[in-house]
Structure 1
Amino acid sequence: MKKKGLTIVILLLLCVAIACIPLLTIKDSEFGGADGQAEEAITAIDPDYKPWASSILEPPGGETESLLFALQAAIGSGVICFGLGYLTARHKYRSAGQTE
């Protein structure tokens, strides 16, 4: 059990390093989204292109868009963590029931 815990800690630290190292080493860079890059590429290919679809709900500012994205990420991680907790508890209680 000790070895498994150590492996988990090492993997978590590796995940944090993979996420943080590019942010710390790349200076003066702009981390834009894929939407902006796609718009630039389409405009470069065909300057007269007119989009055939538009957003149903346009957020009032960048902060609102950021908030909605963070909320979406929080809900998604909550669902995933709930599922993992449920599966872990189910396995634990099944194992406990077999030993009795």
Structure 2
Amino acid sequence: MTKRTKINIVLLICVILLILIPFVFVKGEYGGSDDQGTAQIKKFAPNYKVWARPVWTPPSGEIESLLFTLQGSLGTGVICYLIGVAHGKKKALQNKDKHRSSK
């Protein structure tokens, strides 16, 4: 096994542990920050009146989750694309420098 393969395996194990450890050791409910924020507002300012309403509310929780996942996936795609472009530019520059130095 190459050194790079070993590093990749160790990183993969770390990612799996980071995902599984909270499910094993954290007891309680997993709620969103919106729920926690609303609870705090109700606790400290019970007379607070909401002044903003959503333009559109998804018809169900499943649709809301789908849209949230889609948004995250698109964002990840854009970030990965930009990283790939930067990597390609760097590699092209290195190849150009190698070509110049070989002359």
TM-score, normalising length: structure 1: 0.81
Query: Map of 1:1-100 to 2, 5 A cutoff?
Result: 3=3, 6-27=6-27, 29-100=28-99
Could you report, residue by residue, the CA deviation over 1:19-61 in whole angstroms, capped at 9, with x for unpaired residues?
321023335x321111111111111122222111111111111
Determine the C-alpha separation between the residues in 1 that align with 2:85 and 2:18: 28
Report how far residue 6 of structure 1 moved.
Answer: 4.0
Percent of residue pairs bearing the same amino acid type: 36
Considering only aligned residues, what root-mean-square deviation do their CA atoms show, in Å? 1.9
Report how far residue 3 of structure 1 moved.
Answer: 4.2
Q: What secondary structure sits across from 1:47 in the alignment?
A: coil
Report how far residue 63 of structure 1 moved.
Answer: 0.5
- Which consecutive residues of structure 1, in runs of 5 or more, have no partner in the other structure? none
Determine the C-alpha separation between the residues in 2 that align with 1:88 and 1:5: 20
Give 1 or 2 for the bigger CA radius of gyration.
2
Determine the C-alpha separation between the residues in 2 that align with 1:64 and 1:35: 17
Task: Give 4+ residue runs of structure 1 displaced > 6 Å after superposition.
Answer: none
Counting matched residue pairs gives 98
- Which consecutive residues of structure 2, in runs of 5 or more, have no partner in the other structure? none
